[in-house]
Chains A and B, each alone.
Chain A
Amino acid sequence: MAKKLMKGCEAIGEAAINAGCRLFFGYPITPQNEIPEYLSARLPQVGGTFLQAESEVAASNMLYGAAGAGCRVFTSSSSPGISLMMEAMSYLAGAELPVVVVNIMRGGPGLGGILPSQSDYFQATKGGGHGDYRVLVLAPSTVQEAVDLTQDAFDLADEYRNPVMVVGDGLIGQMMEPVEFKRTISPEDLPPKPWATTGCAGRKPNIINSLLLNPEHLEAHNWHLHRKYQEMVKEIRWEDWLLDEPVDVLIVAYGTVARICKTAIDVLRARGIKVGLFRPITLYPFPEPQLSAAVDKAKKVLVTELSTGQMLEDVRAVVAGRKPVSFFGRVGGMVMTPEEIEHEVDKLVVQG
């Protein structure tokens, strides 16, 4: 298929259709409105349904209904809207329902701002809603990767019967890049879901539920979910960039921030400074052994994020005191420049 120039948000919408998804429930919020707008026109063309819900609370519970009935379904929102969906995320995880949720993150807390941010890392990777649960979290750094990961997210959600979240910042959603849709799945070709509520003809009724009043049953369910999350480590994805040789400074960054770092690294390398990049693509499960191996090759570690230091905590846990870890963050919708990254690396090199 030929490459097509598309805006990130629209490409994500088209990716969902290519993944065989024919249902979208959502509520407008900046900066991701192009996803629902695109799908409101596109889904009816392919026999699908777009529905603008009365709230993110309702939209996420519509997902719960549709996913329980065995449909591929997804929603997108941005930080304050994602917070409203956290109730349903907990129920979806508890009832083991596959859905895809896209968060085009904006600055917070509260209403915050509408410009790019990575400040929902904790919410995405540590559960977010109530109860002991996790969702698989994917973080693209290009529009093409956003397309590929969105399509993969549907398969992963079905495989693990668990919500999968794709987190991008406002930059990913708004920029245009050439993209290619590498595979197209028709809803008819998707594997059946015998657990779904499709009518009980010829079998016992199926029940979609997260209520387990017997504590022994709930404990068993919690450990069952935990084992599932542990199995997800085989889905870990990451990128090593210029890490074949030992480096003076290892930068750890994800999403579009990693691209800014690559620009800075090119300049630093041209100046003879040995710098490499480790980019987690799955934020949960976090690529712990892979990062640990990269840390072994570095003298110092620099974590940079559009937050005051959230992924930083996971990196510190992996480094475990072996190397010095420093942090550089911009927040509130402010985005770091390659020059700022260069400056931070210079400081670490000068310190020796």
Chain B
Amino acid sequence: MPTPIITKDLCKGCELCVHACPEGVLEMSTEINAKGYFFPVAAHPEKCTGCRYCLLVCPDTAIQIEAKGKVTVRTEGLTDKQFHYCPGCTHGVIHRLVAECLEELGIRERTVGVAPVGCSVLAYDYFNCDMHEASHGRAMAVATGIKRGRKDLVVFSYQGDGDLASIGMAETVHTANRGEKITVIFVNNAIYGMTGGQMAPTTLAGQVASTCPLGRDVNHAGWPIRVVELLQSLRTPAYLARVSVHDPKSILAAKRAIRKAFKYQIDGVCFSFVEVVSTCPTGWGMQPHESCNWLEENMIPYYPLGEVKTPETAA
């Protein structure tokens, strides 16, 4: 019988697993863990079907699944270091997906990642491969330098919306236009998390942020930028996809896209870019599971998911 194995001290009490479980296996504890958070317990283990939804949505790799005598393990693409992200932040999920791809594609030992400035500035502590920390917005220029210098390496950048679509937009457009054989993971949560919730280039119309307290006025600040569609207009072949991590099925689709993006790079085909629409419960001022619902209802209509361009379909 499958069972969720919970490492309680990794948990930050976001409750995403409890909401994701379709069978009602999990409940939150009444005691707190070493960090001071309530954590999930398998209150009804007999209901577990081994669907792994709890594992998929957990941003802190606190849940593994035991089934048929085997236990899933944290990917070796991640270091042992615990994420510093807020409870329920989906950065942890996206980190895990990227790291799993590095492991499954057998490229971890020849990969160099580039971390941005923003919430994921410390990503170099989490990915178990060689890493660069770049200045704000320049991750793709740094990645270009690495790849042009050492074509044998697999190079990826991991950037947020302020880094990639605001201060780094010139680097973004030109790196894509040159068709650099790198992979870009673009985390779009429509807000500046690290600096305290200011407006991002991707903040939705009417969405409240600390520098647009009445909501984004598009006549004043312009419309939120759809980066994937903007890059789609370039003639250079590319793999451009937009995915989300607000529920287990989306997370599985996100992983397929990230894996495909790396594959295109490994095969020397094209520039590959995956926008991951994600949540910022702290910056949005919502519970983590409410953030996932808000994302689905508000962000996906404006940022439609799917493969926007593949090298095979390029003009």
Contacts and interface: CB of A to CB of B under 8 A. Distances in A.
Contacts of B144: 51, 58, 62, 65
Chain A, interface size: which category?
Answer: 35 or more
B141 A200 contact: no
B130 A58 contact: no
A66 interface: yes
Contacts of B143: 65
Contacts of A211: 121-122, 133
Residue of A51, A62, A209 contacting most chain B CB atoms (<10 Å): A62
Nearest to A210: B133
Contacts of A23: 145, 148-149
A95 B138 CA distance: 15
A111 interface: no
A58 B174 contact: yes
B299 interface: no
A210 B132 CA distance: 9
A98 B156 CA distance: 22
A133 interface: no
B142 A61 contact: yes
A146 interface: no
Interface string B79-109: 1000000000000000000000000000011
A313 interface: no
Chain B at the A interface: mostly helix, strand, loop or mixed?
Answer: helix
Contacts, number: 135
Contacts of A54: 170-171, 173-174
Interface in B122-167: 122, 124, 127-135, 138, 141-150, 152-153
B250 to A, nearest CB: 29
B114 interface: yes
A13 to B, nearest CB: 18
B134 A61 contact: yes
B174 A66 contact: no
A175 B199 CA distance: 52
Interface string B25-39: 000000000000000
A201 to B, nearest CB: 4
Contacts of B142: 61-62, 64-65, 68
Given A199-B111, A199-B153, A68 B148 contact: no
Nearest to B107: A199
A25 interface: yes
Contact of B112 (A61, A71, A197, A210): A197
A69 B174 contact: no
Contacts of B131: 197, 205-209
A278 interface: no
Contacts of A201: 109-110
A69 B149 contact: yes
Nearest to B150: A69
A54 B153 CA distance: 23
A25 B146 CA distance: 12
A69 B135 contact: no
A87 interface: yes
Interface in A156-209: 197-202, 205-209
Given A87-B135, A208-B132, A53 B141 contact: yes
Nearest to B144: A62
Contact of A58 (B79, B124, B170): B170
A190 to B, nearest CB: 13
Contact of A71 (B132, B135, B138, B150): B150
A67 B130 CA distance: 14
A55 interface: yes
B130 A64 contact: no
Contact of A66 (B121, B130, B149): B149
Contacts of A87: 135
Contacts of B170: 54-55, 57-58
A67 B146 CA distance: 8
Residue of A57, A69, A88, A206 contacting most chain B CB atoms (<10 Å): A69
B130 A199 contact: yes
A51 B135 CA distance: 20
A67 B124 CA distance: 17
Contacts of B121: 211
A64 B135 CA distance: 10
A91 interface: yes
Contacts of B152: 199
A205 B130 contact: yes
A62 B128 contact: no
Contact of A68 (B128, B132, B178): B132
A67 to B, nearest CB: 8
Contacts of B79: 205
Contact of B145 (A73, A206, A209, A210): A73
B138 A58 contact: yes
Contacts of A51: 144, 148, 178
Given A54-B170, A65-B144, A205 B114 contact: no
Interface in B148-201: 148-150, 152-153, 170-171, 173-174, 178
Interface in A33-87: 49, 51, 53-55, 57-59, 61-71, 73, 87
A87 B133 CA distance: 14
Interface of A: 23, 25, 49, 51, 53-55, 57-59, 61-71, 73, 87-88, 91, 95, 197-202, 205-211
Given A61-B134, A207-B132, A208-B133, 9 more contacts: A49-B149, A65-B147, A65-B149, A69-B112, A70-B150, A87-B135, A88-B138, A198-B130, A207-B124
17 contacts: A23-B149, A25-B145, A53-B141, A57-B170, A61-B142, A61-B145, A64-B132, A64-B138, A66-B145, A68-B146, A69-B146, A69-B153, A205-B79, A205-B127, A207-B130, A207-B131, A208-B132
Closest 5 A-B residue pairs measured CB to CB? A65-B145, A62-B145, A197-B130, A61-B141, A71-B149
